Amino acid sequence: GVRQPPKRMLPPSIPISQPVRSPKFGSVLPSPSTSHVHAKYDVLVWFEICELAPNGEYVPSVVDHSDDLPCRGLFLLHQGIQRRIRITIVHEHASEMRWKDVRELVVGRIRNTPEPEEEDNDSSVLSLGLFPGEYLEIPGDDRCMFRFEAAWDSSLHNSALLNRVTSYGEQIFMTISAYLELENCGRPAIITKDLSMIIYGRDARVGPRSLKHLFSGSYRNQEANRLSGVYELVLRRASEAGVQRRQRRVLDTSSTYVRGEENLHGWRPRGDSLIFDHQWELEKLTRLEEVEKIRHTLLLRDKLGIDKLALCNKTNHDFTKSEKVRASL
Residue-wise pLDDT for 187-209, tens only, equals 888 999 999 999 998 888 876 65
Strand order in the sheet with 62-65: 62-65, 73-78, 189-200, 172-182, 99-111, 126-127
| Tens-place pLDDT, residues 82-141 | 999 999 999 998 888 888 889 999 998 888 888 877 655 667 788 999 998 888 888 888
161 shares a domain with 306 = no
137 shares a domain with 53 = yes
280 shares a domain with 227 = no
225 shares a domain with 321 = no
For 20-62, the DSSP string reads PPBTTTBS-PPPPTTSPEEEEEEEEEEEEEEEE-TTS-EEEPE
Residue 14, pLDDT score = 60
Q: Name the region of 67 (left: φ>0; alpha: ψ -120 to 50; beta: rest).
A: alpha
What domain range is 319 assigned to? 275-328
Question: Does residue 302 form part of some domain?
Answer: yes
Whole-angstrom CA distances from 62 to 55, 86, 171, 214 are: 17, 14, 15, 11
290 shares a domain with 178 = no
81 shares a domain with 229 = yes
pTM beyond 0.75: no
Tell which of 239, 257, 289 closes a domain: 239
- What torsion do the CA atoms of 152, 156, 159, 160 make, to the nearest 10 degrees? 90
Question: Does residue 265 form part of some domain?
Answer: no
290 shares a domain with 194 = no
285 shares a domain with 188 = no
Averaged pLDDT for residues 173-181: 91
Is 73 in contact with 81 (CB distance < 8 Å)?
A: no
Percent of the chain with pLDDT over 70: 73
| Tens-place pLDDT, residues 250-267 | 666 767 777 887 788 777
Is 190 in contact with 28 (CB distance < 8 Å)?
A: yes
Is 171 in contact with 197 (CB distance < 8 Å)?
A: yes
Q: How many domains does the chain have?
A: 2
> Hey, what amino acid is at 176?
I
| Tens-place pLDDT, residues 217-254 | 554 566 688 899 899 888 887 765 555 555 566 666 76
Report d(CA 145, CA 203) in Å as an integer: 34
111 shares a domain with 56 = yes
Question: Does residue 150 form part of some domain?
Answer: yes
Residue 120, pLDDT score = 53
160 shares a domain with 83 = yes
